[in-house]
């Protein structure tokens, strides 16, 4: 069993470069299915979820060549399968990302129900309802989603109940080849949506309004392969930003656009942090106690749910009490019980967490509950008394490239170890 072991109490400083966005790279890889031929993606993070998506595309018949550490050449010319099997997609939450591209290219798809972090139900019903409006027929059997387009795809107006990123992306990709114009109302506005729209337009699609609540897609004929650079990972940047804030910094984070973390930066400044925004990143430092502020997660441009655990870790050492409201994933507070093992004072009431600041954390053995929660537990260990050992770190590997190495480069006393599994010892 691999663990991350952290010795607390050491200062952090220096510069760290973030990778391409996980939540964009996975969808861009899926989108290459729509343009038969060789597409090249650069700034692709070397993480577990990308490896899994690569296996999904390879299973369908694509060939993938790794050019350098962060560049993928994907040839989708010979894709003949339209099935994404359970043994692959169960490993990541982004499995439904291939649904729209397969429907667009083949008019049919078989996709296993999604897996990945256990942080809440996948709102797959929004994908289904939206795609049904375009003429897709669905059946769900033995854990698989069966989708067909008996009359082809036809443009329509789809209003989403919730600004779902996944549903917006699937509708965008499925409607590229639909007859007429498709309008997505209450569309997700995340930077990753804009990145996908840019890729599709470079391929020859006609997508307008990405980044706003209303997106229009005019159906076109064949798409062509392209070369595209993945947008920087705002959540990885936010994670190192929070770490610098907790320990004091200064830390310079490069490789992302600060505007993509707009509300996070504003909230952190209200917490007493100093943030110097630059063209390709920012510098964070803190010389005052952390001021407690209330947080509520919402779709972009609101406060991202993917920054909730890291921010709870910060606020758990705040100067007062505050409330964190989770509006996106119902199980995201699983992290709180592990942080409490380290001495945090957090009480959960429904989708609210009442956080009372404490002066210090104590090192402990904790278990990573999900991707962001795992990173936040390592973060807590940076300022805890003694040693903190974080297990189930495969969650962290899903979304952070070279996590331990980057922390070491900033001065953290952290290492990745292989230890005997308790069950093996038994």
Residue ranges of the binding site: 22-23, 93, 306, 328
Per the annotation, binding residues for UDP-N-acetyl-alpha-D-glucosamine are: 93, 306, 328
The answer for 125, left when phi > 0, alpha when psi is -120 to 50, beta otherwise, is alpha
Q: Annotated binding residues for phosphoenolpyruvate, as ranges?
A: 22-23
Can you say whether residue 5 is alpha, beta or left, with left for phi > 0 and alpha for psi between -120 and 50 degrees?
beta
The single residue of 117, 282, 313, 322 carrying the catalytic annotation is 117
Region of 46 on the Ramachandran plot (φ > 0 left; ψ -120 to 50 alpha; else beta): beta
> Are 249 and 276 contacting, i.e. CB atoms less than 8 angstroms apart?
no
Tell which residue, 167, 79, 98, has the closest CA to residue 126. Answer: 167
Classify 268 in phi/psi space as left (phi over 0), alpha (psi -120 to 50) or beta: alpha
- Give Cα separations from 31 to 103, 117, 142, 345, 413 (angstroms): 11, 23, 26, 44, 40
CA distance linking residue 13 with residue 166, whole number of Å: 36
Pair type for strands 251-254 and 14-17: parallel
The span from the CA of 54 to the CA of 236, in Å, is: 21
Please confirm, yes or no, whether 117 is among the known catalytic residues.
yes
Q: 388: which residues sit within 8 A by CB, 6+ positions away?
A: 5, 6, 8, 342, 363, 364, 365, 366, 377, 378, 380, 381
> What are the residue numbers of the active site?
117
């Amino acid at each position: 069993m691999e663990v991350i072991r952290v010795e607390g109490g050491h200062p952090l400083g220096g510069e760290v470069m973030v990778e391409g966005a996980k939540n964009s790279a996975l969808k861009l890889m899926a989108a290459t299915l729509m343009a038969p031929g060789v597409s090249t993606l650069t700034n692709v993070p070397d993480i577990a979820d990308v490896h899994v998506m690569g296996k999904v595309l390879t299973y369908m018949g694509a060939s993938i060549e790794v050019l350098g550490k962060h560049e993928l050449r994907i040839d989708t010319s010979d894709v003949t399968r339209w099935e994404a099997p359970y043994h692959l997609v169960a490993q990541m939450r982004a499995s439904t990302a291939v649904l729209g591209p397969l429907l667009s290219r083949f008019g049919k798809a078989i996709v296993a129900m999604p897996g990945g972090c256990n942080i809440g139900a996948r709102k797959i019903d929004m994908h289904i309802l939206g795609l049904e409006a375009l003429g897709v027929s669905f059946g769900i059997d033995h854990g698989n989603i069966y989708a067909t387009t008996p009359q082809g795809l036809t443009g329509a107006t789809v209003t989403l109940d919730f600004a779902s990123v996944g549903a917006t992306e699937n509708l965008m990709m499925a409607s590229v080849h639909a007859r007429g114009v498709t309008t997505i109302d209450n569309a997700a506005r995340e930077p990753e949506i804009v990145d996908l729209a840019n890729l599709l337009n470079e391929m020859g699609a006609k997508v307008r309004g990405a980044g706003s609540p209303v997106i229009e897609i005019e159906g076109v004929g064949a798409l062509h392969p392209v070369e595209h650079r993945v947008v920087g990972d705002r959540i990885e940047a936010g994670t190192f930003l929070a770490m610098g804030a907790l320990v004091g910094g200064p830390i310079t984070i490069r490789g992302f656009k600060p505007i993509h973390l707009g509300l996070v930066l504003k909230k952190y400044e209200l917490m007493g942090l100093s943030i110097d925004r630059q063209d390709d990143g920012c510098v964070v430092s803190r010389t005052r106690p952390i001021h407690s502020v209330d947080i509520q997660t919402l779709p972009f441009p609101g406060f991202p749910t993917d920054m909730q655990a890291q921010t709870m870790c910060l606020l758990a050492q705040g100067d007062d009490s505050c409330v964190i409201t989770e509006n996106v994933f119902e199980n995201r507070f699983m992290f709180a019980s592990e942080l409490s093992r380290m001495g945090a004072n957090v009480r959960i009431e429904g989708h609210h967490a009442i956080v009372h600041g404490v002066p210090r954390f104590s090192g402990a053995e904790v278990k990573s509950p999900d991707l962001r929660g795992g990173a936040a537990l390592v973060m807590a260990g940076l300022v805890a008394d003694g040693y903190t050992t974080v297990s189930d770190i495969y969650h962290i590997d899903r979304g952070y490239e070279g996590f331990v190495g980057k922390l070491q480069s900033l001065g953290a006393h952290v290492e990745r170890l292989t230890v005997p599994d308790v069950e093996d010892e038994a």
